[in-house]
Amino acid sequence: MAEPVRARRLTDEEGRRLTQIVRRGRGNPIRVRRATIIMASASGTPVPAIARLVAADEDTVRDVIHAFNERGLAALDPQWAGGRPRLISDDDIAFIVTTATARPATLGCPFTRWSIRKLAAYLAHCHQRRVVIGRERLRQILREHGAAFQRTRTWKESNDPDKDAKLDRIEEVTSRFPYRCFELDPQSRTL
- Domain co-membership, 17 together with 57: yes
Q: Is 65 part of any domain?
A: yes
- Report if residue 17 sits inside a domain: yes
Identify whether residues 60 and 95 lie together within a single domain: no
DSSP 191: -
Number of domains in the chain: 2
pTM of structure:
0.46
CA 44-47-49 angle, to 5 degrees, is 85
Please provide the DSSP assignment of 44-72 as one string.
T--HHHHHHHHT--HHHHHHHHHHHHHHG
- The amino acid present at 141, given as its one-letter code, is I
Q: Summarize the confidence of residues 124-128 as an average pLDDT.
A: 87
Q: How confident is the model at residue 64, as a pLDDT? A: 94
Q: Do 49 and 97 share a domain, yes or no?
A: no
Contact 115, 122 (CB under 8 A): no
For residue 125, which of 149, 145, 113, 107 has the smallest C-alpha distance? 107
66-80 per-position pLDDT tens digit: 999 999 999 998 877
d(CA 53, CA 32): 13
pLDDT of residue 178: 72
Residue 123 inside a domain? The answer is: yes
**Exposed / middle / buried, residue 152 (Cβ in 10 Å: 0-12, 13-18, 19+):** exposed
As a whole number, mean pLDDT of residues 28-54 equals 92
Bigger pLDDT: 88 vs 188: 88
Between CA 60 and CA 78 the distance in angstroms is 12
**Within-domain flag for 138:** yes
Position 183 scores a pLDDT of: 64
Domain shared by 99 and 67, yes or no: no
CB 57 within 8 A of CB 51: yes
Q: 114 and 140 in one domain?
A: yes
Asked whether residue 190 is assigned to any structural domain, the reply reads: no
Under a CB-based contact definition with an 8 Å cutoff, are residues 109 and 122 in contact?
Answer: yes
User: pLDDT value at position 154?
Assistant: 61
Is the predicted pLDDT of residue 191 greater than 60, yes or no? Answer: no
Tell me whether residue 152 is in a domain. Answer: no
Whether residue 68 sits in one domain with residue 34: yes
Note the Cα 142 to chain centre separation in Å: 13
Q: Tell me whether residue 84 is in a domain.
A: no
Mean pLDDT over the full length of the chain: 86
- Both 72 and 103 in one domain: the answer is no
Q: Which structural domain, as residue segments, surrounds residue 66?
A: 12-76
Share of the chain above pLDDT 70, in %: 89
- Phi first, then psi: give them for residue 169, nearest 5 degrees: -65, -40
- The reply to whether 191 falls in a domain is no
Q: Examine the domain organization and report whether 126 and 96 are in the same domain.
A: yes
Q: Are residues 16 and 71 in the same domain?
A: yes
Instruction: Note whether 20 and 65 are same-domain residues.
Output: yes
Q: Which residue has the higher pLDDT, 16 or 26?
A: 16
